Amino acid sequence: MINSNKTSQNFRKILEIIILILSIFFILSSVLFLKNNYFEKLIISLFSSISTSVPIFKNIIIVNCDNEYSKLIYLSRLIIIIGSVIIYLLLDKVTCKKYDWSIIFGRYSSKKDQIKYLRISLIILFLYLSPILILGENSHIIFSDNLDYYIPVFKVLAGSGKVFGSLNATIPNFMNGIPRNVLTSELNFHLWLYMIFKPFAAYTINYFIIHVVAFFGMYLLLKRHFLKDESEFFIVVGVSLCFSLIPFFPLLGLSISGLPIALFAFLNIRDKKYSWTDWLIIFLIPFYSIMVISFIFFIFFMFVLWLYDLIKTKKVNLKFLISIIFMSVVFVIIEYRLFYILFFVKNYVSSRTDYPPEGLININFVESIKKGINYFINGDFEQNESFNKYFINFSVAFAIIIFIFKKLKEKKVIISFLFLIIIFIFSIWQGLFHGRSSNFLKNLPSIIKTFNIYRISWLNPLFWYILFALSLYFIKKYIKQGRKIVTIILLCQIIFLFYFNGELFERRRGTMKYKEFYSENLFKNISDYIGQDKKDYRIVSIGLPPGVTQYNGFYTLDGYFPNYPISYKREFRKVIAKELDKSAELKYISYGSKCYIFIAELGQDILITKNENRSVDNLDLNTEFLKNMGGQYIFSAIQISNYKNNNLELLNIFDDSCSIWKIYLYKIK
């Protein structure tokens, strides 16, 4: 009998492993969009055969611009995803028996229910992320700082052969040779994805990593340090799911989504209940994050916490201090290029020192405070949105009412108010930074101006969701039918976040598809027409972001970089000086990260699709100076009526049915 039970248990373990492997294989086959994806081929062949005999299926098969069965491919990927979900659900039949899940679930006893909550949450997260798997390069993804900057720069850098370039290396593809040191470090794992995979596959894998780490990071943090009782497990999982559904900005890696797991590790060390995995987390996080975005402030926050403990206990928590120093040192090593160019290259001056703080608005002190309050109530920027506007704010307000009427004195009440105060202060600081009251920053040393110190508010999403979990805890504990209320709030927040799902939201906004934005076939035709090696000539763009041409391998004099030499910024200004003088709307000095051919007639609009039927009638560029810089061609997405007055020659017009662009190719005489 004992042998029979052992055999049965071993069989279940083997079956579990097989199911997990199959599930992962199904998902990866869809994620990587392999040309030889046999699952897709099998499904396409099956439906193609059916369609020949069953007329109703014929409308499924539609050939797109690349002679691929586009709708069938979407259908096949959908089937793969549904199959993966079904396989994952089958685990419930083979895993919830006689297994020790203590590593994952700690002290909780109702393991089966907890596994169910986790499984449901992960399936919801997977469905939230699935559109990018189904649609592939026909997905609608974020344009600003993403399609126009991060993706093309990572692609070019990964393929430049200079990822590991010397401290004096330059990348010739950008701006006549931008310093290698101003771009992402070769020690950043995010960049490695673009070295290993094709750009869209790398983007997709990064997209999944960010959200999965966000879920498990918040889950571990809440379960270990804030809501330890097993009866609160569904709040832990629900809030973790909500946090993971935030549409994090892909470029940032784990800079925001990785904050919970970093805090989890630090608090473990602080409480002297750590393991080697906590030190591993602290070591690995910097390899997938950007220090200047959030972690420089997070580390400072940890140091303040260490000082608080020192003052309160009058004892030095040495290991906690060492862990803070350890992460700081790892970040410095990873970002060695940034530190080198800022501190050791005496003749390098960043373009960021030439203009007021990013986003500076000419408003008075009172208006700045109002702006800060607006950030507090309604959330922050698109790249750092907390989505607290409705249901999180409601939960926090509800909890405060409970505090007042119940006269609660729990430790969690103090912690909740502390987080609320911190969020409020950070939001007000951001409001002040963006108002006239922050003008004092212009007189600070250039090294300080290079960093956007308002970004301390980028810690707010972490604090909001911890506060959200604590607020739900109070509602559940002190209100009749509190569990039902909490469940409704969580469901509402999940639905609210689904509304801002990347694909759905960008589709509503009219953002172009990945494939049509970069239009590789169109630009290949242009390259073939020019007939020269791309490294032998330089171009600029009008009416389309330079990131499009950079992605397609062209060497550009224009570009979008948060940090590049100020000397080049001032040199390039001479090309567009007359256009800048025509309109105060054009922000080149005040926001010179975008080193573009700005046109007064177009204003700040640098994206003109072929359906807009517009033209530029009074263009006034210094094409002679542009030619001296090495410029030979202008790729314009809009017709230039007076091109002859600018010493230009119209060579050809390029169009493609699958592209959003119509490109007028001009040569500088």
What tens digit of pLDDT does each residue of 559-588 get?
A: 998 888 888 988 998 999 898 888 766 666
Length of the chain: 669
Give the pTM: 0.86
Query: Given this model, what pLDDT does residue 436 score?
Result: 52
Longest dimension (CA), the chain: 95
Q: How many domains does the chain have?
A: 3
Rounded CA-CA distance 336/357 in Å is: 24
Using alpha carbons, list the distances in angstroms from residue 662 to 39, 500, 613, 654: 36, 31, 10, 6
Give the pLDDT mean for 119-145. Answer: 86
Query: Given this model, what pLDDT does residue 137 score?
Result: 85
| Segment holding 124, helix H or strand E | helix 111-129
The pair of structure tokens assigned to 284 is 């690995």
Do 445 and 532 lie in a common domain?
A: no
What residues have CB less than 8 Å from 221, skipping those under 6 apart?
260, 261, 263, 264, 267, 466
Higher pLDDT, 448 or 483: 483
Q: Where do we find the tokens 């083997």?
A: 14
| Signed CA dihedral, 195, 197, 201, 207: sign only | negative
Q: What percent of the chain has pLDDT over 90?
A: 46
Rounded CA-CA distance 294/311 in Å is: 26
How many helices (H) and strands (E) would you count in the chain? 28, 10
Which residue, of 79, 99, 119, is where some domain finishes?
Answer: 99
Residue 407 belongs to some domain of the structure: yes
Do 566 and 614 lie in a common domain?
A: yes
- 94 pLDDT tier (thresholds 50, 70, 90): very low
- 6 pLDDT tier (thresholds 50, 70, 90): low
Query: Given this model, what pLDDT does residue 532 score?
Result: 93
Give the pLDDT mean for 304-318. Answer: 94
The pair of structure tokens assigned to 361 is 């608005």
Do 540 and 405 lie in a common domain?
A: no
pLDDT-wise least confident of 148-162, 168-182, 200-214, 342-356: 342-356
Do 535 and 659 lie in a common domain?
A: yes
Cβ contact 636:612 at 8 Å: no
- Domain span at residue 552 reads 519-668
Give the pLDDT mean for 660-669. Answer: 93
Higher pLDDT, 454 or 272: 272
Do 468 and 554 lie in a common domain?
A: no
Give the pLDDT mean for 329-351. Answer: 87
Rounded CA-CA distance 345/360 in Å is: 28
Higher pLDDT, 112 or 548: 548
What is the 8-class DSSP label of residue 552? T
Residue 13 belongs to some domain of the structure: yes
Cβ contact 31:23 at 8 Å: no
Do 543 and 457 lie in a common domain?
A: no
Query: Given this model, what pLDDT does residue 574 score?
Result: 92
β-pair type (631-636, 538-542):
parallel
Query: Given this model, what pLDDT does residue 666 score?
Result: 95
Do 589 and 641 lie in a common domain?
A: yes
Single out the residue of 358, 132, 360 nearest to residue 250, CA to CA. 132
- 24 pLDDT tier (thresholds 50, 70, 90): low
Residue 577 belongs to some domain of the structure: yes
Give the pLDDT mean for 383-410. Answer: 87
Do 437 and 551 lie in a common domain?
A: no
Residue 277 belongs to some domain of the structure: no
Reply yes or no on whether the pLDDT at 554 is more than 70: yes
Query: Given this model, what pLDDT does residue 338 score?
Result: 87
Q: What is the DSSP string of 42-92?
A: HHHHHHHHHHHH-GGGGGG--B-TTSSBHHHHHHHHHHHHHHHHHHHHHTH
Do 544 and 664 lie in a common domain?
A: yes
- 224 pLDDT tier (thresholds 50, 70, 90): very high
Which residue, of 76, 99, 122, is where some domain finishes?
Answer: 99
Do 538 and 645 lie in a common domain?
A: yes
pLDDT-wise least confident of 19-23, 164-168, 492-496, 629-633: 19-23
Query: Given this model, what pLDDT does residue 371 score?
Result: 82
Which residue, of 43, 66, 99, is where some domain finishes?
Answer: 99
pLDDT tens, 516-536?
999 999 999 999 999 999 999
Residue 272 belongs to some domain of the structure: no
pLDDT tens, 240-262?
999 999 999 888 999 999 999 99
The pair of structure tokens assigned to 124 is 């919801």
Residue 152 belongs to some domain of the structure: no
Residue 536 belongs to some domain of the structure: yes
Query: Given this model, what pLDDT does residue 293 score?
Result: 87
Do 439 and 568 lie in a common domain?
A: no
Q: Where do we find the tokens 């501190």?
A: 343
Higher pLDDT, 98 or 305: 305
Higher pLDDT, 93 or 512: 512
Q: What percent of the chain has pLDDT over 70?
A: 76
Residue 619 belongs to some domain of the structure: yes
β-pair type (639-640, 615-616):
parallel
pLDDT tens, 362-384?
566 777 788 888 888 887 665 66
- 551 pLDDT tier (thresholds 50, 70, 90): very high
- 91 pLDDT tier (thresholds 50, 70, 90): low
- Of 105-119, 161-175, 421-435, give the range with the top mean pLDDT: 161-175
Do 535 and 663 lie in a common domain?
A: yes
